[in-house]
Structure formats: structure tokens, C-alpha cells
Amino acid sequence: MDKKIVIFLKTYKVHILATLAFFFFLRSCSKSREISRLERANKKIEYVADSLQIRVESLKEDKIAIHVWYDNWISKKDRGSQLMELHSVVKHNIDSLQRSKH
């Protein structure tokens, strides 16, 4: 039985090696294709994340502009205690938004 296996291996060693090389080639191709697919997905995710970051910054700038407008409007008024409290809240919001922007 052992001699038959040795003879089989000696006779068909080139075919066996070619078949093994072919299977390893197919495996490497499939892994390469999967890596390419993951890289494309990663680029899409990065693009979306960058777009969202730009949008968030735009919204922060809009919020700051609104709070500055309120600040200017309140500064022009004859303020009572409630308006003074609102003014301090607006000032605090402007400061916190400007700190988070940087």
C-alpha cells in the first residue's frame, strides 16, 4: 500500500503541485478582491464622514451667528432681570460654541 502511494506521488507530482498552486492562486485572488471591496467601502465611509463633519461645522457657524444676533439685539434693549438672564445664557452659548469649534 505504501509503495502504491509513493509511486502515485512520483508519477503525478507535477499535476499535484500544479493543482495545489492553482487552488492557492484562487484563494489569493478572492482575498485580493475582498480587500479591494473593503477599501472601496472604506473610501465611501470616509467621504460620508467628511461630508458630515463639514455639515456639522456649518451648523455650528449658523448657531453662532444666531446667538450673536440675539446678543446684539438684547444689548440694544433696556433689559429687565429676565432679559439679563437670557443675555447671560446667550453669552455662555456663544462661548461654548466658539470653544467647541476649535
pTM above the 0.75 mark? no
pLDDT of 52-93, one tens digit each? 999 999 998 999 899 899 888 888 877 787 788 888 888 888
Helix 81-101 / helix 2-76 crossing angle, nearest 10 deg: 150
The C-alpha atoms of residue 71 and residue 58 are separated, in whole angstroms, by 20
Burial of 25-41, coded b for 16+ CB within 10 Å and e otherwise, reads eeeeeeeeeeeeeeeee
In 1-102, where does DSSP find H-type helix? 2-76, 81-101
| Residue 38, helix vs strand vs coil | helix
**What is the structure's pLDDT at 102?**
61
- Report the chain's mean pLDDT, rounded to a whole number: 87
Mean pLDDT of 42-55: 94
Mean pLDDT of 34-46: 91
Domain boundaries, the chain: 2-101
